[in-house]
């Protein structure tokens, strides 16, 4: 960066003749482009190399993992970590539980958020602005602060240590409602008007006209909900304790502190980390463009 700056700085001087100037500025631009590439590629390596190490190490033996933590190609390929993880541990159960919770939460959120978002954007009813103000206030409460309180309520409701207790509280999602509300506000009124003249009621309009139009926003919501609930840890810690209800995040966190393995058996831990990353990674690469736009869209709104 600093080299680019100083070179460009000289460009400002008006004394130079135009021919040499054009020549120089072209050379300068080339240097700066190369610098940019070098910096970016180095940084990209720093960001991606750890993930490559994860995958490589998961195929190494214990001794090699410690002896050669940097190499990307195992000297002796070993499936021991995966063998232990997938065939002789609770890992598949954790995976199943995570799938159940994630799918339920995603489905529930899509339904609840889109209904609430539609009502807040389009239906006129008394108390709407009060509800909206409340929603904004509620959004400000940080999640970690709610850990203990949520546990208290879940226990009180008799949902502790059950799928219900793990799923239902996660359905409360103010941010998703915002996304849907913003989207519904962008749909022209005329669409609903036509249906209303034909005598369709609010639910009919929502279900068969507005919701199908909302596909882009729904995809966004699905991605965010899936990623959020798949990666959730703290809620599962306070909502359940039995082994049968262990999710991936909770299970792997215990693995990290040495649950399955005596000593530091890195291959098995990293294999677990790699496998638990796969679903989110797939989702990420499939919907990459949209995911990038989601985050950027949030600012403009």
Partner 1 sequence: MALTSRRSAQGTAAAAPSPSRRRTSRGSGSRGRETVAGWAFISPMLLLLGLFLVIPVAMAAWVSVSDWTGRGSPLASSVSFVGAKNYTTLVSGGGLATQDFGTALRNNAWYVVLVVPLQTALSLFLAVMVNRKILRGRGAFRTAFYFPSVTSSVAITVLFLFLFAASGAVNEVIGALSGSGPNWFADPRGVLHLLLDALGVHQSPAALAGHGFVGISWWDWLAGPSVAMSVFITMAIFTTSGTFMLLFVAALQAISGEVEEAALMDGTSGWQRFRYVTLPMLRPTVFTVVTLGLIGSWQVFDQIYTGTKGGPDKTTLTPAYLSYKSSFESQQWGYGAAIAFVLFAIIVVMTILQRSVLRESDQVPRRKRFVRSVPASTTDQEQR
> Which residues, numbered 109-138, are part of the site for partner 1 (CB under 8 A)?
111-113, 115-116, 118-121, 123-128, 131-136, 138
- Contact region for partner 1 (CB under 8 A) — 17-25, 75-83, 165-173, 213-221? 165-173
Query: From CA 100, how far away is CA 247, in angstroms rounded?
Result: 10
By CB under 8 A, is residue 42 in contact with partner 1? no
* Residue 249 interacts with partner 1 (CB under 8 A): yes or no: yes
Q: To the nearest 10°, report the CA torsion of 229, 234, 235, 236.
A: 80
Site string for partner 1, 268-287 (x = CB under 8 A): -xx-xxx-xx--xx--x---
Between 79 and 157, name the residue whose CB sits nearer to partner 1.
157
Q: Give helix 266-286 / helix 91-122 axis angle, nearest 10°.
A: 30
Indicate the length of the chain as a whole number: 301
The answer to whether residue 84 forms part of the interface with partner 1 (CB under 8 A) is no
CA–CA gap between residue 252 and residue 250 (Å, rounded): 6
Cα 165 to its chain centre, rounded Å, is 22
Number of residues that bind partner 1 (CB under 8 A): 120
Q: Give the interface segment with partner 1, choosing from 18-26, 81-89, 188-196, 212-220 (CB under 8 A).
A: 188-196
The only residue of 16, 26, 29, 34 in contact with partner 1, by rule CB under 8 A:
29
Residue 162 binds partner 1, judged by CB under 8 A: no
The residue within the footprint of partner 1, chosen from 57, 97, 102, 225 (CB under 8 A), is 57
Per CB under 8 A, 182 contacts partner 1: yes
């Amino acid at each position: 960066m600093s080299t680019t700056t100083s070179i460009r700085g000289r460009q400002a001087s008006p004394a130079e003749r135009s021919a040499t100037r054009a020549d120089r500025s072209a050379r300068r631009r080339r240097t700066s482009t190369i610098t940019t590439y070098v910096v970016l590629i180095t940084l990209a390596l720093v960001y991606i190399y750890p993930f490559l190490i994860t995958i490589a190490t998961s195929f190494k033996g214990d001794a090699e993992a410690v002896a050669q933590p940097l190499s990307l190609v195992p000297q002796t390929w070993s499936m021991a970590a995966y063998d232990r993880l997938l065939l002789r541990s609770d890992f598949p159960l954790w995976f199943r539980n995570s799938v159940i919770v994630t799918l339920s939460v995603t489905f529930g959120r899509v339904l609840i958020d889109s209904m609430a978002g539609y009502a807040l954007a389009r239906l006129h009813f008394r108390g709407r602005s009060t509800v909206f103000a409340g929603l904004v206030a509620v959004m400000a409460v940080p999640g970690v602060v709610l850990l203990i309180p949520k546990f208290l309520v879940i226990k009180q409701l008799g949902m502790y240590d059950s799928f219900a207790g793990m799923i239902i509280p996660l359905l409360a999602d103010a941010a998703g409602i915002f996304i849907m509300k913003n989207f519904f506000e962008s749909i022209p009124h005329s669409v609903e008007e036509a249906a209303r003249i034909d005598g369709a009621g609010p639910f009919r309009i929502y279900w068969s006209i507005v919701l199908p139009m909302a596909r882009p926003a729904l995809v966004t919501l699905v991605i965010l909900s899936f990623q959020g609930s798949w990666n959730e840890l703290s809620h599962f810690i306070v909502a359940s304790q039995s082994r049968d209800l262990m999710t991936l995040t909770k299970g792997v966190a215990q693995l990290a502190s040495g649950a399955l393995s005596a000593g530091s058996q890195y291959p098995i831990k990293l294999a677990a980390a790699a496998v638990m990353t796969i679903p989110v990674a797939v989702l990420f690469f499939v919907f990459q463009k949209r995911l990038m736009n989601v985050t950027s869209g949030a600012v403009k709104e």
